[in-house]
Structure 1
Amino acid sequence: MTHHIVIAGGGASGAIMAANLFRLGNGALRVTLVEASGEVGKGPAYSTTNPSHLFNVRSAQLSAFSGTPDHFDRWLAIHHPEFTRNGPFVPRGVYREYLEAALRETAPVGKLRILPQACVGMRELEHGVEVTLADGSSLPAHFAIVATGFGVQDKSEGLLSNPWTALPPENSEARVLIVGTGLTMVDTVLSLLDNGHRGKIVAVSRRGLLPQRHALHRPLQLSTADIPLGASVHYLSRWLTDLVRAHVNNGGDWRDVMDGMRPHIQTVWRYLPTESRARFLRHAAAFWDVHRHRMPPAQAERISAVLESGQLEIVKGRFLSAERRGDRLFAEILRPGWDEPGPFKADVIYDCRGVRRRADQDMPGFAGALVQSGAARLEKLGLGLEFDRSCALINGQGEPSSRIFGIGPVTLGTFWESIAVPDIREQARQIAERIASGGRLAARGSVARLP
């Protein structure tokens, strides 16, 4: 029997999911990728054509298949050998081309359909799933996968420019404000510089922290037994700080410890009580992010230069809102030690806060529709929809689905580490194995790989 799988979302997560389904499905699957743009593998991060926008992950970690870790490197050597000569950090724009190639390689003829629509609803039936499309039609499937990403709008959204889609300022002397100081801010600054921008650029975030720089290192070998699972965030932070200090004193690099922790982060997150997770988000997430999500050396050098020149300034403060007054924008920024927020004048404001803004029950879009219909519920901190350990969607009554799964950023609240390619491909492998087995739970050993 051929099973029909619907994937809601055709970005990187959806494309990796489809490729893994075909690879593990032994020809017994057909897949419909529902993507409003009609384009596969693009998404915000990989739509860029700017060669300055580099992966912050080495190419050896970018395979779409966990069982074939060199798949991307081999493809890159054949199709873009020019990038292999420039070190392990390659332009992100090539990844869409790679994902399209991975789908061509794995999808049997006639088994993949790209549907240029948007999903607006999804409900589980006794023997399948009904997916509702924006035109009012329904799409029946045996299984469905939510791969639409996760984002939250605010009241100022209409005044904040999307860094991936907005045109650069016509005036090269324009005053630019960037909300967020992470890797998206780095890309936005480099785009402005590549376009000849000469005006002042100010980036603001609560902590005012920049991503650290990648460097050669060797991940520290850690086992789960080495980590104080279930401890408070305070104790975990102290333990990690002491481990880094001891390792550096012995001639190591702090990056060794951070990457040694990498395979265990989902387990650590799972053992943290909700209040400890909330405390981590309030006090430690920014520090974790700048050490975990690092800048490639080429980007770090350019950002250091523009900081030194004074064209770029990093400001510690909390963005509250924005409004238009005449032909200028004014952002309300609350700086440390201030009783009242102060206005910041800008010609353009870019929203580079990423995906970790918290949602509530009334959020719009497909994820909101799932919550409002009872097909899903938000995880307790509102970082995404809630899933079980095997990526099955949890409904409004707290029951895991046997036919609807999630992959990528929409699972952030459940897994924390779910937005990088190594995490996404592992989720894809696990879901594909379960679907290939008819929806039954994977073997215990397979589940253990993705806590």
Structure 2
Amino acid sequence: MRKFESLPVVAIVGGGFSGAAVALHLAQGQEVGPEARVVVFEPRARLGAGLAYDTAESTNRINVPAGRMSLYPDEPESFLAYLERANALAGDPGAMTADGVAYPRRSVFGDYVASELAPCLSSGTIEHRRAQVLGIRRSAGQWMISSSDGQELMADIVVIAVSHPAPALPKALLPVFSHPKLVADPTKAGALEVIAPADRVLIVGNGLTSADVIAALGERGHHGPIISISRRGLRSRGHPAVTRDPYGDFVSEPITRASELLRRIRQALHAARQTGLGWHAVLDAVRAQGQQIWQALPVVERRRIARLARPYWDAHRFRIAPQVETVIDRVVESGRLNILAASIAAAATEEQEIVVDLKERGPGARRRIAVDAIVVTTGPAHGGILRSQPFLAALEEAGALTPCETGLGIACDLHARAVGADGSANRSLFIAGPLARGTFGELMGLPQVTEHAVFVAREVEALLAVDAPASQTGQSFRAARG
């Protein structure tokens, strides 16, 4: 084990995929760069799984081919190599599609991340503090971190890599908040166990989580009717039958207006159709160029996209695994699943059932339905991130953190440094993962999250090597290493 007395401390708050990836690349960078004590705060038993990959649901699969999932941007087939090395698909005959593409269960990807981290944990290069962070405050040029295990840690650099906040319960559902079959957060373990096989189910939201819920219910033998609603009635799309290279150029001539971006995308879609390509290739190009596109747009245009275009983007960008798509198609064809463009106007409990008034899209269209259970799958409440945990709220109150102007997360600059209330970036406080996407743009897909984790690790290393705050011993980082 290493001795930490003279090393600067880097604390990573959140040990899901983003935090674990930052820690891993920091640890690997120490082989040739500056040394540090890397401490990851994560209450879960293992690092790297987080909300996405810490699931026991057998129907929860990665939603992109395994060959595009990796902890290393320059080794895209790292996960595939792990699958073969660990024989990880042996007990999962449904993992492979008919054309031989692997979509393993999400928990398997969590296993892969854990296996990559294991040597760093055993050597002490990464320290897993299995505790929840309760408070972070500035103290004598450093960060004092208090945690649920009753301990405190003085850190020189803090990386905030927390998960998305839980879905916000629609206000119209508050009158039925205490109903035993209102599932406000289906990502919690065992959340769907309250739903009986014949229950009439209303799902609020039509994205990836909705698809996961329908597939999980089917695995449990659910055969009752399902109504799934979203304001626009959009359903997550699947993958193309044949993968094509991305099609379209949206960065050679910078786009500065949301309307111009939409026009260019429509032009590319039309041109793609002329060459026999579908929409997938065009959207893949937008995704690949997403960060450059985003950073060329003024903040007011970013807000316009987040408010008006995001539902359409999410429906096409976040594609469901073929196995899940097959389940959804079958439920639709059977008539058990009805997808509506609607919102909830009111809800009330009548005996054991829930009566819901739906406001369907269109002038004055209303529908009253009675259901046995409601599952909320509206997605993370991004706008409430700084109120989701006490330590974040305290940092906001102290002026160290501010919400992103786009409403998509936490404000940071292009070095991933948190932007405070005075508009300046704090050089020792970083934002990692999707909560930085208001600044960086496309940061939800795993390839982009991995690249961003490497980027944040390099930024931290640069701070460690050049001109950082005092270490635990009161020495500069440079002196600590000398």
TM-score in same-fold range (> 0.5): yes
Query: Larger deviation: 21-30 or 358-367?
Result: 358-367
Amino-acid identity (%): 27
Match of 1:163 in 2: 186
Query: Larger deviation: 96-105 or 51-60?
Result: 51-60
Corresponding letter in the other structure for 2:243? H
* Aligned-partner Cα distance in 1 for 2:187–2:332: 22
Query: Larger deviation: 144-153 or 107-116?
Result: 107-116
**2:60 counterpart of 1:53:** yes
- In the alignment, is the contact (CA less than 8 A) between 2:211 and 2:328 conserved in 1? yes
- In the alignment, is the contact (CA less than 8 A) between 1:161 and 1:351 conserved in 2? yes
Match of 1:35 in 2: 42
Distance 1:144-1:265 versus aligned 2 partners, 3 A rule = same
Q: How does 1:170-249 map to 2 (within 5 A)?
A: 170-215=195-240, 216-220=242-246, 225-230=251-256, 232-249=257-274
Query: Larger deviation: 46-55 or 376-385?
Result: 46-55
Match of 2:374, SS state, is strand
* Aligned-partner Cα distance in 1 for 2:110–2:248: 34
**2:309 counterpart of 1:290:** no
Deviation track 1:208-266 (CA, whole Å, cap 9, x = no partner) reads: 11111202222236556445421x21221111011111111112222111112222112
Query: Larger deviation: 22-31 or 174-183?
Result: 22-31
Distance 1:324-1:117 versus aligned 2 partners, 3 A rule = farther
Correspondence for 1:64 among 71, 74, 95: 71
Match of 1:90 in 2: 104
* Aligned-partner Cα distance in 2 for 1:321–1:63: 44
**2:114 counterpart of 1:100:** yes
Query: Larger deviation: 304-313 or 219-228?
Result: 219-228
Instruction: Find the structure with the greater CA-based Rg.
Output: 2
Correspondence for 2:428 among 403, 412, 418: 403
Distance 1:269-1:322 versus aligned 2 partners, 3 A rule = farther
Distance 1:366-1:200 versus aligned 2 partners, 3 A rule = farther
Corresponding letter in the other structure for 1:351? V
* Aligned-partner Cα distance in 2 for 1:414–1:201: 38
**2:171 counterpart of 1:146:** no
* Aligned-partner Cα distance in 2 for 1:406–1:394: 10
Distance 1:110-1:343 versus aligned 2 partners, 3 A rule = same
Corresponding letter in the other structure for 2:223? R
Match of 1:128 in 2: 142
Distance 1:73-1:131 versus aligned 2 partners, 3 A rule = same
Deviation track 1:116-155 (CA, whole Å, cap 9, x = no partner) reads: 2212332345643222324664321121111112225345
Q: How far does residue 352 in structure 1 lie from its aligned partner after superposition?
A: 1.0
Q: How does 1:74-89 map to 2 (within 5 A)?
A: 74-79=81-86, 80-82=88-90, 86=97, 87-89=101-103
Corresponding letter in the other structure for 1:42? A
Corresponding letter in the other structure for 1:242? Q
TM-score, normalised to structure 1, is 0.89
* Aligned-partner Cα distance in 2 for 1:353–1:94: 26
Correspondence for 2:27 among 17, 22, 41: 22
Match of 1:114, SS state, is strand
Query: Larger deviation: 159-168 or 423-432?
Result: 159-168
Match of 2:18 in 1: 13
Corresponding letter in the other structure for 2:165? G
**2:270 counterpart of 1:265:** no
* Aligned-partner Cα distance in 1 for 2:424–2:338: 48
* Aligned-partner Cα distance in 2 for 1:81–1:65: 21
Match of 1:112 in 2: 126
Corresponding letter in the other structure for 2:144? E
* Aligned-partner Cα distance in 2 for 1:177–1:357: 23
Correspondence for 1:253 among 278, 294, 311: 278
Correspondence for 1:302 among 327, 336, 342: 327
- In the alignment, is the contact (CA less than 8 A) between 2:239 and 2:322 conserved in 1? yes
Match of 2:400, SS state, is coil
Corresponding letter in the other structure for 1:164? T
- In the alignment, is the contact (CA less than 8 A) between 2:417 and 2:430 conserved in 1? yes
Deviation track 1:169-226 (CA, whole Å, cap 9, x = no partner) reads: 3521111111110111111000000000011111110111111120222223655644
Deviation track 1:269-318 (CA, whole Å, cap 9, x = no partner) reads: 22222332232233321111121111222222221111011111101112
Match of 1:279 in 2: 304
Deviation track 1:61-97 (CA, whole Å, cap 9, x = no partner) reads: 2111223222211111111254685523221110111
* Aligned-partner Cα distance in 2 for 1:416–1:320: 33
Distance 1:108-1:398 versus aligned 2 partners, 3 A rule = farther
Query: Larger deviation: 355-364 or 12-21?
Result: 355-364
- In the alignment, is the contact (CA less than 8 A) between 1:55 and 1:92 conserved in 2? yes
